[in-house]
Amino acid sequence: MLAYYNRSIAHFELGNLDLSLTDLDRSIQLAPRDPIPYNRRCILHSLRGDYDAAIIDATKEIELGQAVSGFTNRAVVQEKKGDYAAAVADFSEVIRREPNNPKAYCLRGLALAKTGKLAEAATDLRKGLRRKEILLPGLRTKVEEALRRMDPAS
């Protein structure tokens, strides 16, 4: 299992997404109770635009005990699909499990903004920025820009 999983990462890094997917499928066949290959395959399906398959893998990851990662992955995919309410629900579950997760607050805030709940979105975005030093720069910039659009005076 591990050899196929590791080779899938190498294929992915080389841009060989089809070969990466083939190796992930084989890895899962050999170890169907290991959540890690489902995580990676979810991300790969999402990058390929196969959102339904990505959601299935994220849900399986949750079932196999990787709840925070699985809910985060599923929420990101739901947002890509345009199902912002489902994304908000999954990010809320991440926050319930990890109440000090600034990334989850930021991502939920961005999803809330897309549902039109701007006051709730701004609250989450500000909460996430309280620990902005641990956010990836791209997310931090996106959150700061979203807050400026919501309240140009800030």
Chain segment 68-109, per-residue pLDDT in tens? 999 999 999 999 999 999 999 999 999 999 999 999 999 999
Interatomic CA distance for residues 100 and 68, integer angstroms: 13
Q: Where are the beta strands (DSSP E) in the chain?
A: none
pLDDT digits (tens, 9 = 90+) for 98-145: 999 999 999 999 999 999 999 999 999 999 999 988 899 999 999 999
Beta-carbon contacts of residue 18 (< 8 Å; ≥ 6 apart): none
147: Cα within 13 Å, side-chain hemisphere? 19
**Structure-token pair, residue 144:** 């700061």
Task: Write down all domains in the chain, each with its CATH number in brackets.
Answer: 1-99 (1.25.40.10), 101-154 (no CATH)
Interatomic CA distance for residues 25 and 8, integer angstroms: 9
**What's the predicted TM-score (pTM) here?**
0.91
The number of residues making up the chain comes to 154
Beta-carbon contacts of residue 81 (< 8 Å; ≥ 6 apart): 51
Q: Is the pLDDT of residue 154 over 60?
A: no
